[in-house]
Structure 1
Amino acid sequence: MIKRVGILTGGGDCSGLNPTIRGAVYRAQDYNYEVYGIQEGWRGLVKGDINPLNLSEVREIIDQGGTILGTSRLNPYKIDNGIKQVLNSIKKFKLDAIIAIGGEDTLGVANRLFKEENVKLVGAPKTMDNDLSGTDYTFGFDSSVTWAIKAMRSLQDSGRSHRRIMVLEVMGRHAGWVALFTGMASGADWTLIPEEKADIKKMCQHLKEVYKKNKYASVVISEGATLPGINVEKESLDQFGHMILRNRGVGNLLADLIKKNTGIETRHSVIGHIQRGGSPTLFDRILGLRCGVTAVDLIAKGRFGYMAALKGSEVIGVPLEEAVSKLKVVDKKWWKLAQVFFK
């Protein structure tokens, strides 16, 4: 019988986490569940940093960015006795079930704990990159792209005024959804994503033609895109085996390549963590609330090892295994659509 539910947020922060927490806490009241907030993702279970979470603490967080529970990228499978400490905390705090809110890494750990340790877990899909399989969209993505579009429109104003080519670097390690949607929705002249090989010669020729007509041009690039001069083998990895991209500087490198190949003054800007924070959009608020509610419903129905997921207009449960088995990357259909606007 379920009496006490723990909830955690792991991995990179994004807008929509707090609405999800709020949705879960409110729905838990309907089942008379006690809710405990696990601090800083899996680190909270490793350290036993867990506290009661009630309605008064989540009532006013619907429009707040980030997560009131804190987050971290700690992987309990990568530290000594990490899983043992997680299991001890679950037992100590009498947690009957856990809601893990996160992306591929956080939910990957959740899936392993469910399969290997029989921990009663459900998930909610968080990632601003929108690269999680099993769901049409993740909360955090819409807010992130909204910020990136605003940034690009500002850069375009400056580029138009100073007769420059402007480059905006956005987040997206393996999947280029943020760059793709930002490029299309802001009217950028070219977009570079990790899934597609960069054709620098073709891009620069196009930018020269655009510049000749408009006296400015703009480009969006994902931080994970590969350019000539980048040595992928030398890049550092985090606990989940992902490249640490903070010093990669693809925006700067691309601006230099464009200037070298076009002779046109080119500047770059990196939106960085600005696109992680801020008040969530309407879409992310409602999706977050719905995912939080559905996660609790999955617990009530005993559907452990499942994740709340948006399919069409419905939020349903899908197996965690489906969500973490592979990344959802930009497919050829979307890339062909983006290329329609490279004119």
Structure 2
Amino acid sequence: MSRVGILTCGGDCPGLNAAIRAVTRKLIISYDFEVLGVKNGYDGLIEGDVQPLSMYSVSGVLPRGGTILGTSRTEPFNVKNGVETILENLKRFEIDSLVVIGGKAAINSANQLSEHGIKLVCIPSTIDNDVYGTDVTLGFDTAVNVATKAIDMIHTTAESHHRIMVVELMGLNSGWIATYAGLAGGADCILIPEVEFTIDETAALLKKRHKRRKFSIVVVAEGANPADVEDYKTSLNKQDALGNTYFCSIGEFVGAELAKRTGMETRVTTLGYIQRGGSPSVPDRILASRLGVAAANKIKNKEFSVVVGIKGNDIIATPLKNVTGKIKQVNPEMYNTAAAFFG
């Protein structure tokens, strides 16, 4: 009887439990495989922390956020003897193959492990939606819904108090959440890593808008970087006892600079980790179920070293080597659509 290990790695997101459930149920019901849950990502493979998964284990987890297996950001190749220990533990627990659920870093590590002969299949999960090999990653839809709801709520107070409201969303290397939530929430300006911008241009846009409307919503991804400043030089920055500067967040910086350059009252909301939490949306539950079943089928058919994803409405599989080391960024057409509503 084949034995498969499942692990969740990297940042958590809604839909992980739904994916664990789908893989487990498909492997047990359709193929009579044994399934083990690896605790806390690659840490569990290194420490030998595994537990059996059964139909009972995954009962009721479909609507739950987070991951019942726990997660970590450990990368095995950064741990002394990490790969050797993983190989020993796979042999010790008689694990034939793995299903790795995670984002870019987890998939990069999985690719390296596959080069050491480990049989595995990956499911892309990150609210950032920045993994190649799939149109949408697990968790993205829920995060966009959370962010859009927040923008809707902030919109009313912005209008009531005639303020510029800056909303900082997650997205260090790509602005998918900011673009989608900003478009859906009626943002007057969206700042993302993919598109160069200056504070002066942004301020000019808002001053022009305020001749007609006395409030604005500015959505900024955490990785956005203004081209007209070298550092975030603002009174919001702090220094430690040794004189080292701790720069404020991009949202705080943009808010402070817009207030200074427009003369308008400005407030900043950093949405933070609420974007990762809560029950997965219906699309995320369905995507998790489809990708989980697809991963189980790949394991059964011995089609390893792939990332299962979705293209249009079709489930696809992309070789790991074609996914690793890349960042899927917002395409110009999508951003230009959002930009049509700026100002």
TM-score (norm 1): 0.93
**How far does residue 308 in structure 1 lie from its aligned partner after superposition?**
1.1
**How far does residue 248 in structure 1 lie from its aligned partner after superposition?**
4.7
Would the aligned equivalents of 2:111 and 2:320 in 1 still touch at CA under 8 Å?
yes
Q: Secondary structure at the match of 1:52?
A: strand
1:212 aligned onto 2:233: no
Q: Secondary structure at the match of 2:218?
A: strand
Shift in CA distance, 208/126, structure 1 to aligned 2, threshold 3 Å: same
Gaps of 5+ in 1: 233-245
Distance across 1 between alignment mates of 2:264 and 2:118: 58
1:193 aligned onto 2:192: yes
Whichever residue aligns with residue 335 of structure 1, its letter is Y
**How far does residue 229 in structure 1 lie from its aligned partner after superposition?**
4.9
> Which position in structure 2 is the counterpart of 1:298?
298
**How far does residue 291 in structure 1 lie from its aligned partner after superposition?**
0.7
Q: Secondary structure at the match of 2:211?
A: helix
Q: Which moved more, 1:59-68 or 1:199-208?
A: 199-208
Alignment: residue pair count: 328
Whichever residue aligns with residue 172 of structure 1, its letter is G
> Which position in structure 2 is the counterpart of 1:151?
150
> Which position in structure 1 is the counterpart of 2:133?
134
Q: Secondary structure at the match of 1:94?
A: coil
Distance across 2 between alignment mates of 1:337 and 1:171: 20
Distance across 2 between alignment mates of 1:204 and 1:292: 46
Hey, which of these two has a bigger chunk of helix by percent? 1
Whichever residue aligns with residue 71 of structure 2, its letter is T
Distance across 2 between alignment mates of 1:157 and 1:99: 44
> Which position in structure 1 is the counterpart of 2:241?
none
Distance across 2 between alignment mates of 1:230 and 1:190: 22
Distance across 1 between alignment mates of 2:87 and 2:79: 14
Q: How does 1:159-198 map to 2 (within 5 A)?
A: 159-198=158-197
Shift in CA distance, 291/231, structure 1 to aligned 2, threshold 3 Å: same
> Which position in structure 2 is the counterpart of 1:49?
49
> Which position in structure 2 is the counterpart of 1:90?
90
Shift in CA distance, 167/78, structure 1 to aligned 2, threshold 3 Å: same
Shift in CA distance, 175/270, structure 1 to aligned 2, threshold 3 Å: same
**How far does residue 74 in structure 1 lie from its aligned partner after superposition?**
0.4
Task: Give RMSD over aligned pairs.
Answer: 1.5
1:76 aligned onto 2:69: no
Gaps of 5+ in 2: 233-245
**How far does residue 214 in structure 1 lie from its aligned partner after superposition?**
2.1
1:319 aligned onto 2:322: no
1:223 aligned onto 2:222: yes
TM-score (norm 2): 0.93
**How far does residue 231 in structure 1 lie from its aligned partner after superposition?**
4.3
Q: Secondary structure at the match of 2:17?
A: helix
Shift in CA distance, 195/57, structure 1 to aligned 2, threshold 3 Å: same
Q: Which moved more, 1:23-32 or 1:206-215?
A: 206-215
Q: Secondary structure at the match of 2:269?
A: strand
Q: Among all aligned residue pairs of Structure 1 and Structure 2, give the percentage whose two residues are the same amino acid.
A: 41
Distance across 1 between alignment mates of 2:328 and 2:222: 17
Whichever residue aligns with residue 109 of structure 2, its letter is V
> Which position in structure 1 is the counterpart of 2:19?
20
Q: Secondary structure at the match of 1:294?
A: helix
> Which position in structure 2 is the counterpart of 1:237?
none
> Which position in structure 2 is the counterpart of 1:241?
none
